[in-house]
Amino acid sequence: MEMPLPDQTVLARKAEIVALLRRVLPAGSVIDAPEETYAYECDALTAYRCPPLAVVLPETTEQVAAALKICHEQNVPVVPRGAGTSLAGGAMPTSDAVIIGIAKMNEVLETDYDNRIIRVQTGRTNLSVTGAVEENGFFYAPDPSSQLACAIAGNIAMNSGGAHCLKYGVTTNNLLGARLVTIEGDIIDVGGPYMDAGGLDLLALICGSEGQLGIVTEATLRILPKPEGARPILIGFDDNEVAGACVSDVIKAGILPVAIEFMDRICIRATEDFAGAGYPDCEALLIVEVEGSDAEIDAQLERISEIAQKHNPVELRQSQSAEESAKIWLGRKSAFGAMGQINDYMCLDGTIPVSQLPLVLRRISELSEEFGLKVGNVFHAGDGNMHPLILFDANKPGDLEKCEDLGAEILKLCVSVGGCLTGEHGVGVEKRELMTHQFSADDLDIQMAVKDVFDEKWLLNPAKVFPLSVSASRRGPQEVNR
Ligand SMILES: Cc1cc2nc3c(=O)[nH]c(=O)nc-3n(C[C@H](O)[C@H](O)[C@H](O)COP(=O)(O)OP(=O)(O)OC[C@H]3O[C@@H](n4cnc5c(N)ncnc54)[C@H](O)[C@@H]3O)c2cc1C
C-alpha cells in the first residue's frame, strides 16, 4: 500500500509543534514519546502501521478547536480518531500527522424522552448510548458488531451500520445533529433536535465523510422505544447460493425483518467453537429476527418459514427463550473475533443488490479457488452488505499482496453487479485506489471540490478516501512511499 512521504519540514519542527499544543491543552493531553505514540500506529486494519508525530486527547470541544487551529497555522496534517476500530485504515496516521482523539469526551449531555433524542459527546461508545436510556425503555438502533468499543464519532464518520439496520437504517438515518470543528478551529452546529433541518442537508454530507471535513465532537441522536418483543429463527442450508436466494425471496415478499444475517461454514464453525451459540452444522446459516407482539412475531415467522421451506433448509429452528436469543446474537457479534483466533484475515465490505447474492457468492467461491486463499462469509444479508473475510498468513511472504489482489477483485465484482465498494466500513486507505472503479474522474473531482471548501490545505485525514494519483495536485507535490 502506497502512502505519501512525510513532510520533512513538519518532522523537523516536532518539538515546536508539541510545545504549541501543550500550551492550549491540559497537562498529560499531548503524547509525543515514541513508546506511547506506538499505541496509535494503526486501527483494526492492523496490516498497515505508522506511528504519528503526536497524539492529542482533548476534553472539550474548545480544546479540539484550539488544537486544530494550531495544526492549521503550522500546516500539520490531522487524523481524527475515535476508538480506532476502523477496518478500512480510516484512522491510520502518517508520521507527520497529529492524531486528535476524542475518547475522553464521552458524556451524555441531554436526554429528552418527549422528543426521543439523546445528545452525547462523540467519544461515547455506541453501546453505552443505549446503556444510558435502556432503563427508560429506549434504545439507539445502529448496532455495529464492534459496538462495545467503537465511538459515535467513528460511527458518524463511517456512517456505520449493523445487524439491526435492515429495519432501522444506518447512522445517517438516526443522526439528527452534529457539532463540527473545522480545520481552522471554528465550531459549527449542523442539524438539531428535529427530523429535518432547513437549508442544504449538510448533516448527510458530514455523516460518512471519514474525517475529511472536520472533527465531530457532539451528536444529537434519535432514540426509539424498545420493541414489545423480538425473536430470531435459525435457517440452515447445505448450499451458500440457496441461502442467498432465500434472502432475496424474503425481501421480495415485502416482509421487513429487523435483521437477516448470513454465515457460511467456515464462520459457523469458528463462531461455534468460540461462543457456543448453538448454531446447526451446515454450509450456510441465516439468522432472521423479527419484532413486535407475540402474535405479530408468530405471523411473520410463519411467512418466513414458508418461504424458507421452498429452498429445502436442513434446519429451521425458532429461538425458544430470551437466553437462547441472546446466545444466538452473541455468536454473530463475536464472529469477527472468532475468525481472528483461527487465522489472519482481511475483512471486506462491499454492498450489492440483494437479488445478486447467489451470483456474487458463487463468484467469490470461484475467485477463492483461483487465488488459492480461503474466504469466509459473515454479513448483513438483508441489506446486501457483504463481509467476505479473506484468510491469509501474515508471516508468509507475498500472502498479504495476494489477499489484497483477491479483495480488489471481490470489490470490483460488487460494483459490477450494481453495488458499491463499501457498505459501512468506509473507504479509508483500504479501498482508496479502487474508487476509480466506482466513480468517474469528474465524480471524484466534485467530491474533492467539497473537501476543498472545508479543508483548503488538505490537512484533514491525509491519504484516505481519494486515490493518491487523483488527489496529487490538491495535496501538493509529495513523493509517494511504496
Ligand atoms: C470486530 C469488529 C466488528 C465490526 N463490525 C462493524 C459493523 O458491524 N458495522 C460497522 O459499520 N462497522 C463495523 N466495524 C468497523 C468499525 O467499528 C466502525 O467503522 C466504527 O464506526 C469505527 O468507530 P471508531 O470510533 O473506532 O472510529 P475510528 O476507527 O477511530 O475512526 C474511523 C474513522 O472515523 C474518523 N473519525 C474518528 N473520530 C472522528 C471525529 N470525532 N470526527 C470526524 N471523524 C472522525 C477517523 O478519522 C476514521 O476515518 C467493526 C470493527 C471491528 C474491529
Residue-wise pLDDT tens digits, 235-244? 999 999 999 9
Q: What is the CATH number of the domain that holds 243?
A: 3.30.70.3450
147 Cα nearest atom in ligand 1 = 17
Neighbour tally for 195: CB within 10 Å: 8
Helical (H) or strand (E) element with 407: helix 399-416
Q: Given 315, 336, 357, which residue is the final one in a domain?
A: 336
Residue 470 has pLDDT above 80, yes or no: yes
Q: How far is the CA of 53 from the centre of ligand 1 (A)?
A: 21
Residue 479 has pLDDT above 70, yes or no: no
Verify that 82 and 163 share a domain, yes or no.
yes
Residue 33 has pLDDT above 70, yes or no: yes
Residue (of 469, 473, 403) closest to 48 by Cα position: 403
Residue in this structure with the C-alpha cell 429452498, named with its chain if needed: 311
Q: Tell whether 172 is covered by a domain.
A: yes
Q: How far is the CA of 34 from the centre of ligand 1 (A)?
A: 24
68-72, 207-211, 217-221, 468-472: which has the minimum mean pLDDT? 468-472
Query: Cα separation of 67 and 89, whole Å?
Result: 23
**Are 436 and 469 within 8 A, CB to CB?**
no
Residue 333 has pLDDT above 90, yes or no: no
**Distance of alpha carbon 262 from the chain centroid:** 18
Verify that 208 and 64 share a domain, yes or no.
yes
Verify that 408 and 468 share a domain, yes or no.
no
Verify that 73 and 216 share a domain, yes or no.
yes
Instruction: Return the bridge partners of 347, or none.
Output: 389
φ, ψ at 146 (rounded to 5°) = -90, 15
Verify that 113 and 241 share a domain, yes or no.
no
Residue (of 172, 1, 21, 186) closest to 94 by Cα position: 1
Q: Given 336, 357, 391, which residue is the final one in a domain?
A: 336
Residue nearest (by alpha carbon) to ligand 1 atom 11: 160
Would you state the pLDDT for residue 195? Answer: 79
Q: How far is the CA of 225 from the centre of ligand 1 (A)?
A: 25
461 Cα nearest atom in ligand 1 = 47
Query: Cα separation of 420 and 431, whole Å?
Result: 11
Residue 303 has pLDDT above 60, yes or no: yes
Query: Cα separation of 76 and 458, whole Å?
Result: 10
φ, ψ at 137 (rounded to 5°) = 85, 20
Residue (of 246, 315, 285) closest to 379 by Cα position: 285
Mean pLDDT taken over the chain: 94
Q: Tell whether 431 is covered by a domain.
A: no
Would you state the pLDDT for residue 198? Answer: 78
Residue nearest (by alpha carbon) to ligand 1 atom 28: 84
Would you state the pLDDT for residue 481? Answer: 63
Query: Cα separation of 158 and 216, whole Å?
Result: 12
Would you state the pLDDT for residue 29? Answer: 97
Verify that 171 and 236 share a domain, yes or no.
no
Residue 439 has pLDDT above 60, yes or no: yes
DSSP letter assigned to residue 380? E
Verify that 289 and 347 share a domain, yes or no.
no
Residue nearest (by alpha carbon) to ligand 1 atom 15: 86
Residue (of 440, 438, 439, 447) closest to 408 by Cα position: 438
In tens, the pLDDT along 357-399 reads 989 999 999 999 999 999 999 999 988 999 999 999 989 999 9
87 Cα nearest atom in ligand 1 = 15
Would you state the pLDDT for residue 469? Answer: 93
Verify that 393 and 313 share a domain, yes or no.
no
In tens, the pLDDT along 86-128 reads 999 999 999 999 999 999 999 999 999 999 999 999 999 999 9
Q: Tell whether 443 is covered by a domain.
A: yes
The pick from 55, 94, 146 for probing ligand 1's pocket by mutation, whose C-beta has the most ligand atoms within 8 angstroms, reads 146
425 Cα nearest atom in ligand 1 = 19
Q: Tell whether 425 is covered by a domain.
A: no
Residue 482 has pLDDT above 70, yes or no: no
Residue (of 48, 44, 28) closest to 36 by Cα position: 28
Q: Tell whether 427 is covered by a domain.
A: no
Q: Give the structural domain span for 404.
A: 343-416
**Distance of alpha carbon 108 from the chain centroid:** 22
Residue 152 identity (one-letter amino acid): I
Residue (of 165, 151, 155, 163) closest to 208 by Cα position: 155
Q: Is 33 exposed, middle or buried (0-12, 13-18, 19+ CB in 10 A)?
A: exposed
Q: Given 362, 383, 416, which residue is the final one in a domain?
A: 416
Would you state the pLDDT for residue 318? Answer: 94
Q: Tell whether 424 is covered by a domain.
A: no
Would you state the pLDDT for residue 478? Answer: 59
Residue (of 251, 45, 8, 290) closest to 146 by Cα position: 45
Verify that 453 and 400 share a domain, yes or no.
no
Q: Tell whether 216 is covered by a domain.
A: yes
Would you state the pLDDT for residue 196? Answer: 77
Q: How far is the CA of 467 from the centre of ligand 1 (A)?
A: 20
Q: How far is the CA of 92 from the centre of ligand 1 (A)?
A: 11
**Are 377 and 345 within 8 A, CB to CB?**
no
Q: Tell whether 18 is covered by a domain.
A: yes
Model confidence at 475, pLDDT cuts 50, 70, 90, reads: confident
Query: Cα separation of 436 and 433, whole Å?
Result: 7
DSSP letter assigned to residue 6? P
Query: Cα separation of 72 and 184, whole Å?
Result: 6
DSSP 3-state of 100: strand
Verify that 7 and 102 share a domain, yes or no.
yes
Verify that 354 and 306 share a domain, yes or no.
no
Q: What's the number of domains the chain is made of?
A: 3
Residue 342 has pLDDT above 70, yes or no: yes
Instruction: Return the bridge partners of 316, or none.
Output: 235
In tens, the pLDDT along 397-414 reads 999 999 999 999 999 999
Q: What is the CATH number of the domain that holds 100?
A: 3.30.465.10
Q: Is 442 exposed, middle or buried (0-12, 13-18, 19+ CB in 10 A)?
A: exposed
Verify that 76 and 209 share a domain, yes or no.
yes
